[in-house]
Structure 1
Amino acid sequence: MKVLVVIALLAISTCIVESSTTDDSYLSSCNKFFYKSTAPKGFSSGSLKYICQRYEGTFHFATLYDTSKRIPLYSAYTIDEFPCSGKQPSRRSSWFIEPELAGRDKSADMDADKESDHDWVMPTQAINDDYHDSGFDRGHLNPNFHHCGNDRTATFSLTNSIPQDPCFNRIVWYHIEVETLERMENSCAFDKAKRYIIVGAVPSADQRIPFNDTVIHDKPDKATGRVNVPEYSWSMSCCDASDSNGAHQSSWSGVIAQNKAGGTVENFASLVKMERRLQALYGYKGAIKLLADGCGDGSADTDQSFG
C-alpha cells in the first residue's frame, strides 16, 4: 500500500510540473528562456497567467498572458540557431489557441482554434475571429523568423499575438525585429554566447477589437470589445557572455515604440531608464525589473548596447 501511495504522489507531482500554466512549472520548465533563469518582476495588472508555450510535447518559449485583456504582456525566448538549415515551415493562416488557459483538464499543448471549442476558449483568450475585419494584424511578440523548425511554428499562437496597426507591424516593428536578429548574428555569435529576448505590449486604456458592430458566430454578447489593442510594443535583447571566460562582455539593447503608423520610437542606452519608462506606461506603483543583474548595463547613464 505504501508503494502505491508513493507512486501516486510521484504521478501527481509530475502532472504539476508539466502543467504549463502553473507558477511552479513556469519556473521549472521555462526558466531556460530567461537570463539568469529569472523571469521579469513587477508586472501586476489584470488577470495574469504564466504560460510555458508547448507544441508537440516540447516547450518553445514563455509568456505572461492577461486573460482579462486577452493579450500577452510579454513573451520571452532565446535565439539558438542562425541561419536556419533546410526547408522551414510556412506561415500559418489560422493561429493556435492555448487550451490550458481554460482549465487544467485541457491539453498542455497549443491546439487549433475550432469553433466547437469557443464556449470554453473565449472567456480567457483571443480567437482568430476576433481579428477578422478588425483592421489590425495579429502581431507576433516572439517573431517566427527568429526561429527554425517547430520553434517557428510554435510562435503562431494567439497567446503570442497582439493587435498591431498594419503599417506599424509590417514596417516599423518588422525593422526592429530584423535589427534585433542582425545584432545577435553580428555581435553575439561567439562560442558559449547565450541570446535572450523579451518582447512585450503595454495595453491601451480603452481601444479594443472586435468593434461594436462585429458578431462572432451569432453571439454579439461575446464579440464586442474582447481584445485590448496595445498602445505600445517593446523589445529587450540580452547577449549573455558570462561563460566566455572574459573574452567578451555581456550587453543589452532596448526599444519602445507606439503601436500606430508614424508613432514614436524610443531607443534606450540605459536599462534602468527603460524599466522606469515601462513602469510609467503600465501605470504600476512598483518597479519593473526586466533582467536579474542588468546584462552588462553598468549604470543608468552608461550606454551598454550591442556593437
Structure 2
Amino acid sequence: MVTLSLLSLCLLSLLGARGEVAPNFNNCKDSFFRNTPVSGLNIALPTPPEPNPEDLKNPEKCLSAYNAASPAYICQRNGNHNYFATLYDRGRRIPLYSAYEMDIKGVPGREGSIVYYEPQLVHPDLPPHQMDKKGSLLEIKKYNQNIGCSERSPQYRQNYKLGWSQALDDNFGSYDRGHLNPAGHHKEDASKATMTHTNVAPQNPKMNKVPWNQYEKKLKDVLSAGCSKMYVVTGVVPSSTWVDQNKRVNVPSHYWNAYCCTDNNDKPLKSGGALGPNTDHNVTEYNSVTVLETELRGLLNVDNNFNIFNGC
C-alpha cells in the first residue's frame, strides 16, 4: 500500500510541474540575472470581471480566466522547454516586461510569425505550452466538454474565452505587434518561442521599424561585445490610451530596455539600457541601468523598491 507521505510527495511533484502560468517565476528564474526577477513593479490592473456571472451555470469552473490573479507570471514554454519569462498584465492585456538571456554567439533569426497564445491564461488546467489559435480553441472545447460548460452561453464559447484572457491578433488596430523579447536575439526554437501574443504590445509602426529596431540590432551586434552572458529585460510603460473604445488592449506610452553584461563567472562587467516614447521619435540610451531606473520610476509611478537587476 502506498503510504500517505509517499502519496503526498507524488501530489506535490505533480503540482510543481503543472503549468507555466504560476504565482512566480520559479520554473524559469534562470531568465534573470542571479535568478532574481524584477522587483517593485506593482502596476498591473486587476483581471477584468466577467459580466453577469450569476446568470451562468457553474461559473467558478467555466468562466474564462476564473479567479485569476493579475499580473500573471508566464514561463514562456514552446514544446518541452522554457525559453524566457514574461510578466503579463491581465487587466491591460499586454506584457509589462519579458526577461531573457540573449544568444550572443548564435546567428540571429526570425523563426515563424506571431501565431501563439497562452492557454493557461484561459484556464490553469489547460496545457502549459504555447499553442496556435486552432490548438488553443480545441483545448478550450475539450475543457468545456469535460467540465460541462455549455457553449449555448456566449461567455463559455471558445473565441470569447480566448479573447477575454489575452489580446488576439485582430486587437491591435493600426499598431504593430511590437516584440518585447525580439526574435532576432535568438536562434531556431528560442526565436520561435518569442512569436506569442503574450510577448507583444501595441507599438507605433515607425518606432518599431526604425529607432527601436536599430537599437535591438545594436544591442545584439555591438553592446554585447566582450560579454560572456547578456541578461536582458524589455518592458513597457502603460498609458491611459487604448487601441479601441472597449478598452481591451492598452497602448504603452514608452518602451524600455535594460541589459546586464557579465563575464565567465557571472560577474557584472557593464549595464545599460534604452527608453523611447511609443512614437516615431528617437530612442535615448543609458550607460547605466541605475540611471534608467531613475527615469522609469517617474514614468511608471513606482517607488525605490523598483529594481531591474540584483546588483548589476
TM-score by length of 1: 0.80
Structure-1 separation of matches of 2:289 and 2:103: 23
Which structure has the higher relative contact order (CA within 8 Å, separation 6+)?
A: 2
Q: Residues 55-112 of structure 1: CA distance to partner in whole angstroms, max 9, x if unpaired? A: 0111010000000000001000112353339xx66431x5211111122111100111
Displacement of 1:15 = 3.0
Whether 1:173 and 2:212 are equivalent positions in the alignment is yes
Gap runs ≥5 in structure 1: 213-223, 296-307
Structure-2 separation of matches of 1:272 and 1:184: 17
Distance 1:284 1:185, change over 3 A: closer
Q: Quick check: 2:31–2:99 contact (8 Å CA) kept in 1?
A: yes
Whether 1:129 and 2:170 are equivalent positions in the alignment is yes
Task: Name the structure 2 match of 1:220.
Answer: none
Q: Residues 3-22 of structure 1: CA distance to partner in whole angstroms, max 9, x if unpaired? A: 37624532443332442121
Structure-2 separation of matches of 1:149 and 1:179: 20
Displacement of 1:184 = 4.8
Task: Name the structure 2 match of 1:16.
Answer: 16
Q: Quick check: 2:28–2:85 contact (8 Å CA) kept in 1?
A: yes
Q: How many residues align?
A: 266
Q: Quick check: 1:276–1:288 contact (8 Å CA) kept in 2?
A: no
Higher mean Cα deviation, 71-80 or 276-285? 276-285
State the AA in 2 paired with 1:228.
N
State the secondary structure of the residue aligned to 2:292: helix
State the secondary structure of the residue aligned to 2:91: coil
Whether 1:139 and 2:178 are equivalent positions in the alignment is yes
Task: Name the structure 2 match of 1:200.
Answer: 235
Displacement of 1:45 = 1.2
Task: Name the structure 2 match of 1:104.
Answer: 124
Q: Quick check: 1:52–1:59 contact (8 Å CA) kept in 2?
A: yes
Higher mean Cα deviation, 179-188 or 104-113? 179-188
State the AA in 1 paired with 2:34.
K
Identity of aligned residues (%): 30
State the AA in 2 paired with 1:269.
N
Q: Quick check: 2:260–2:268 contact (8 Å CA) kept in 1?
A: no
Structure-2 separation of matches of 1:123 and 1:249: 41
Task: Name the structure 2 match of 1:254.
Answer: 273
Distance 1:250 1:242, change over 3 A: farther
**What aligned pairs does 1:277-288 form with structure 2 within 5 A after superposition?**
277-288=295-306
State the secondary structure of the residue aligned to 2:259: strand
Whether 1:160 and 2:194 are equivalent positions in the alignment is no
Whether 1:265 and 2:293 are equivalent positions in the alignment is no
Structure-2 separation of matches of 1:106 and 1:240: 37
State the AA in 1 paired with 2:237.
V
Structure-1 separation of matches of 2:268 and 2:80: 35
Displacement of 1:204 = 1.0
Distance 1:50 1:78, change over 3 A: same
TM-score by length of 2: 0.79
Structure-1 separation of matches of 2:106 and 2:225: 12
Distance 1:159 1:5, change over 3 A: same
Distance 1:204 1:89, change over 3 A: closer
State the AA in 1 paired with 2:20.
S
Q: Residues 236-258 of structure 1: CA distance to partner in whole angstroms, max 9, x if unpaired? A: 111112617xxx86111111110
